[in-house]
Chains A and B, each alone.
Chain A
Amino acid sequence: MARSSAAEGPAGENLSSIPSALPANLVEFIEVEKTYAGHVIAVRRLDLVVRRGEFLTFLGPSGSGKTTTLNMLAGFERPTRGTIMLEGRSVDRLPPYERNIGMVFQNYALFPHMSVAENVAFPLSVRKVEKRDMSARVRRALEMVRLEAFSERRPAQLSGGQQQRVALARALVYQPSLVLMDEPLGALDKKLREHMQIELKQLHDQLGITVVYVTHDQSEALTMSDRVAVFESGALAQIGEPDALYKEPANAFVANFIGENNTLEGTIEQASKSSCVVRLRDNSRVKATPIGVMVPGDPTKLTIRPEQIRLAEPGSDEDTCLEGTVEGRIYLGDHQRLLLRLANGQELTVKIGADAGFQPGMPLRLAWSTADCRAFPASP
C-alpha cells in the first residue's frame, strides 16, 4: 500500500491505530431478507461478510437488490428478516445517524444551499467538533481530494467530477471506518470515471478504510475491488476475488455476467467428478468440467470463453473438436473476433490472433481443453 503522500491525511492516523484485537469481519449479513409491500422480494436470504479494510463491490444487473442491501446497511431500510451486525453488534435498532457510516450517493446529494466547505464541515458540526479543529479537518479533507481552491463555491458551480470529490470528502472527513458508495461514478463520462476509479482506489489504500461499493459496470468492479459480490435477482450469486470470479465462476449467471462467454446447451451423457461428456443438439459430443453434481440425462449449459477456443491442428488429437463455418470477422489490430456457426446451428465467438486471414464461408475445426469448458446445471 502506498501511504506516502497522504499519510498525514485525516484518516491516515486511524489506520495505524487499528487495534489488532478487532474482529476481522466488520459487517455480517445474517439471513437478511427484504420484501416490499409483502410480495416484492428485493433481497432474499443474504449471508454476506464484509472484511475489515477491504474494497468490496456489489455487482449485478439493474433491480438485483444492490441498492436495497446497501440501504439496509446504511440504516435507511429495515430488513424484513435477519440481522445485520456491525463491529460485532446488531444494528437492527440503530438509526442511520448513529451508525457512523460514510455514504456517497449516486447523485452526490450535496447540500445546494451550502458552500463546499460547509458541506464538508456538516458532519463535523453535527458532531459538535470544536471550530478550530473543524476548519483544519475540513481543509485537510479538501486537500485530500485536491479541492482546497474551491472551498467557497456552491456545489452547482462545480463539475460532476468535482462534486463527486466533495461528496467523497464529506463522507470521509469524520473518519468513518466504513464507507458505502452507491454507483458514485455513474453520472460521469468514461474518461473521468476511469480517472476517479484510480483516485478512489488510492484513497482506499491510503486511508485503510473499508469500502462497500455498488456498480453494474463489471470492468469497474474487477479493476477496483479486493472482492466482488455478484447479485442476481435479489440473491448473492457468488462472492470472491475478481480473478476467481472470472476463472472459476460458480454458476452460469456469473460465468456469463463476468467477462464474455459462449454458451452451448446440451445433455449430460456421462459424468464423473472431474469431467463429463455432454451431447449437444446435433449429437456431437463435447468433454467438459462439471460444476456441481450432475447425473446423465440432466440438461446442462456449457460455457467456454472466446479466447480459450483455438483452431485444431489437422490430424491432432484434441479433447474436443467441433466443426464450424465463419460467418463474420471483426479485425481489432492485435486480435480478431470470428463469428462462427456450428454444424448444429448454434453461434460461437472466437478470439484469435490477428495474423491468419479468414473469409466468410470458410470451414474451421475448433478445439479447446476440457478444463476451460464448464458444464453448469441448466435451470429448468
Chain B
Amino acid sequence: MSENRAPIISAEPRLPCGTAALAGVSAVSLRAKLRRLMPLHEEMRALTLAVPLLALLIVSFGVPIIALLSRAVYDPSIVNALPRTAEALQHLSAADPPGDDVFAALEADLKQDQAKGSIFEFAKSLNSRLSGARSQVLKTARLLAGGAAFSKSELVAAVPFWGEKETWSTIRGGAHGFTSFYLLSALDLRWGADGLTSVPAGEAVFLRVFARTFMVAALVTLATLALGFPLAYLISNLPPTLANLVLVLVLLPFWTSILVRTAAWTVLLQKFGLLNDALIALGIATERLELMYSRLGLVIAMTHIQLPFTLLPIYSVMRSIPPSQLRAAHSLGARPLTAFRRVYLPQALPGVMAGCLLTFILCLGYYITPALIGGASDQLISNFIANYVNVDLNWEMAAALSFMLLTFTLLLYAAFARFLGLDRFKLV
C-alpha cells in the first residue's frame, strides 16, 4: 500500500504552517495591519507576487480534489452500459413499472455489452450498488447470447431479478450519471423503492467507522493535551538553554518518518515487548497486556506521534505571556491557583485550541498507524478509503467517504471558528 494513493486526507502529518519557528500574527490582524500600511493597489501588487503559488495550489491541490470528489456524485457506468435503457426510462415516471419497450432496450444494451466485452465491468459496478446483481447480469447476458428474443414476462420468468422493484430503482438511480448513491452509502443510507432508508444492520458500517475515527481522534487529542500542556508550561519556564534542549527532545521524533515511528511502536507494544516488560517490572500490571492490534496500543502510538503538534502551539503562546502577568496577579492578591486559572489559562487558551484542533484534524486522517498497530476493529475511515482505492478499485465509494470526512472536518473547523473566533487561534 502506498501512502500517496490515499485520497484527499493525507495520513502523513505535516509540519503545521506555523510552528514555533515561524513568527506570525493571526490572519485577521495581519490583514488589518497590511491595510493600514499600504493602499489597495499596493496590496494588489503584493497579491500578484503570490500568483504563482496560488496557481500551483489550484493545479496541484484544488483541481485533483475536485476531480476526485466529483466521482462521489458522478458515476456514468450504468448510463454508459445501458444507454438505450436509460433513454427509455426517461419517459417513465418513477412509480410506473418498466414496460416492454424498456425490456427491449435492456436486451439490446446487454447484447451489445456482451459483444463489446464490457459486460463484466457493468455487472461489477451494478453489484457494488446492489449486492448479488453480478451473477444475475452475467446469467442474463449468457441467456441473451443464445440469440433468442425474450418478451418482458419471459425474461422475468427466466431471471426473476428483472422483476424486482429494487433492481429498477437502482438502474434508474444511475441512469443520469449523477447519483447520490455513494454519498448516502457513506452515511449508511439508501434511496430505495420506498424512499430514504437505513441500510440493514448487517451492512451498516460507515457511521460506526466515522464514530470510531472521531472517538480515537478525541482520545488522542485529550492525551496529547494532558501530556503537552504541563510540558509546554515547564519548557516555557525553563532557562533558555535548558528549554531548547527539552524542546529538541520533544521534536526529535518529528525528524523521523511516521512509518519508522509506527514500526518502532510495533516493537515496543509486543506482548513480550519493552512496554509490557516495563509494566511487569514496575508491578503496574500483573499479566502481559495485549497492546498490539488493540485500541489502547493505537492510541498510545498516535499520542506519541501527535504530541509535538499539540505542544508547539501551546508552547509558543505560553512563551509570549510575560512573567509579569502572573506576578501582577500575585501582587493583586491572587493565590497561585487563582492566578493560574484566571490570568494564565485564558491567555494560553488560544494555543491550546489551536494545538488540539490541529491534532484532532490530523488524527481524522490517520492511516498507516491504525493499519499497522490497530486490530480489525480499530481501522479508521482512512483505512477504508485506502482499501476502496487500492483493493476494491471502487473510487466512487472512496471519493464519497473522503467527501464526508472533509465535510465533517470543515464543519468542525467552522464550529470552532464560529464559537471562538478565528483570530483566537494562535499557532505562534
Contacts and interface: CB of A to CB of B under 8 A. Distances in A.
Interface stretch (B114-122, B292-300, B340-348): B340-348
Contacts of B327: 74, 76, 96, 103, 105, 109
Contacts of A112: 347
Interface string B319-348: 000101101111111111011001100110
Interface in A106-124: 107, 109-113, 122-123
Contact of A109 (B322, B342, B346): B322
Contact of A122 (B329, B335, B336): B329
A170 B333 CA distance: 11
B425 to A, nearest CB: 15
A126 interface: yes
A111 B343 contact: yes
Interface residues of B, number: 19
Interface string A107-148: 101111100000000110011000000000000000000000
A105 B333 contact: no
B325 A97 contact: no
A113 B325 CA distance: 11
Given A103-B328, A109-B322, A111-B325, A123 B346 contact: no
Contacts of B328: 103, 105, 109-111
Nearest to A105: B324
Contacts of B336: 97
Given A113-B346, A113-B347, A122-B342, A107 B324 contact: yes
A123 B332 contact: yes
A127 B332 CA distance: 9
Interface in B332-367: 332-336, 338-339, 342-343, 346-347
A324 interface: no
A75 B327 CA distance: 9
Contacts of B346: 113
Interface string A157-197: 00000000000001100100000000000000000000000
A88 interface: no
A171 to B, nearest CB: 8
A346 B325 CA distance: 51
A262 interface: no
B322 A107 contact: yes
Contacts of B325: 109, 111
Contact of A101 (B322, B329, B331): B331
Contact of B335 (A97, A100, A111): A97
B333 A95 contact: no
A102 interface: yes
Interface in B276-331: 322, 324-325, 327-331
A160 to B, nearest CB: 16
A189 to B, nearest CB: 21
B283 to A, nearest CB: 39
Interface residues of A, number: 25
Nearest to B324: A109
A343 to B, nearest CB: 54
A123 B333 contact: yes
Contact of B338 (A76, A126, A170, A174): A126
Interface in B188-221: none
Given A113-B347, A122-B342, A126-B338, A103 B322 contact: no
Contacts of B329: 111, 122
Interface in A78-104: 95-97, 99-103
A339 to B, nearest CB: 44
Contacts of B334: 97, 122-123, 126
Given A105-B327, A111-B343, A122 B322 contact: no
Contacts of A102: 331-332
Contact of B330 (A96, A107, A113, A174): A96
A127 B325 CA distance: 18
B44 to A, nearest CB: 29
Given A109-B322, A109-B324, A109-B325, A95 B330 contact: yes
Contacts of B324: 105, 107, 109
B331 A96 contact: yes
Contacts of A101: 331
A86 to B, nearest CB: 14
Contacts of B335: 97, 126
Given A107-B324, A109-B322, A122 B332 contact: yes
Contact of A97 (B331, B342, B343): B331
A99 B335 CA distance: 12
B104 to A, nearest CB: 75
Contacts of B338: 126
B420 to A, nearest CB: 13
Contacts of A74: 327, 331
Contacts of B333: 97, 100, 123, 126-127, 174
Contacts of B342: 122, 126
* Most interface-central of B332, B339, B342, B347 (chain A CB within 10 A): B332
A174 B343 CA distance: 18
A174 B331 CA distance: 11
Contacts of A105: 324, 327-328
Nearest to A120: B332
Nearest to A127: B333
A102 B332 CA distance: 7
A96 B343 CA distance: 16
B322 A97 contact: no
A210 to B, nearest CB: 15
B322 A170 contact: no
Nearest to A123: B332
Nearest to A76: B327
A76 B331 CA distance: 9
A170 B328 CA distance: 10
A75 B335 CA distance: 13
A76 B339 CA distance: 14
A103 B322 CA distance: 16
Contacts of A110: 328
Nearest to B325: A109
Given A111-B325, A126-B338, A174 B332 contact: yes
29 contacts: A74-B327, A75-B330, A76-B327, A76-B330, A76-B331, A95-B330, A96-B330, A96-B331, A97-B330, A97-B332, A97-B335, A97-B339, A100-B333, A102-B331, A102-B332, A103-B328, A103-B331, A109-B324, A109-B325, A109-B327, A109-B328, A110-B328, A111-B325, A112-B347, A122-B329, A122-B332, A122-B334, A171-B331, A174-B333
Interface of A: 74-76, 95-97, 99-103, 105, 107, 109-113, 122-123, 126-127, 170-171, 174
Interface of B: 322, 324-325, 327-336, 338-339, 342-343, 346-347
Given A96-B327, A99-B331, A171-B332, 15 more contacts: A76-B327, A76-B331, A95-B330, A96-B330, A97-B334, A101-B331, A102-B332, A103-B331, A105-B327, A105-B328, A113-B346, A122-B332, A122-B342, A123-B332, A126-B335
